[in-house]
Copies of this chain bind each other. A is one copy, B any other.
Amino acid sequence: MCTVYRIADEVLDLMKRPLSIRIDLDSPIPTYRQIVDAFRAHLVEGHLAAGDALPSVRRLALELGIHFNTVAQAYRELAEEGWLDLKHGRRATVLQRGAPPSASRGTQRHFERRLRELVAEMRAGGLAPATIASELLSLAERLKS
């Protein structure tokens, strides 16, 4: 089952625009991890800024149709990564996060491997090499700007 979820304006009331979170319950990627990955992308890309409030755990769980523990686990993971301030009884709030320390050579190799594996998965999944190459080039272009 694939759930597309668009966070309503009234939920993310501090945000300039609604964000979409997509969860695929059939994916081998754990659900909490999919939530973390989706929010992290919005955070890195600046769609969520310091001071913005996230939907409450129970509300997001209800909207996604998943257990609230799964959302709570995702928020804890994002807090551990330094993105969120979690205070009991208050909404999760985006923190000002300084530049991360430079990645070690080991971390860099880890990510290079995962990137290579994802490209292999895309090829195995029926994406044409030219389509994948053009997606990679467009992402590289965005990083330069």
Contact = CB atoms under 8 A, between A and B. Distances in A.
Interface stretch (A49-57, A63-71, A85-93, A113-121): A113-121
A139 interface: yes
Nearest to A110: B24
Interface residues of A, number: 54
The binding surface of chain A is classed by DSSP as helix
A136 interface: yes
B117 A143 contact: no
Given A128-B102, A129-B144, A137-B136, A41 B120 contact: yes
A94 to B, nearest CB: 13
Contact of A103 (B24, B77, B125, B143): B125
Interface of A: 22, 24, 28-30, 33, 37-38, 40-41, 43-45, 77, 81, 100-103, 107-108, 110-137, 139-141, 143-144
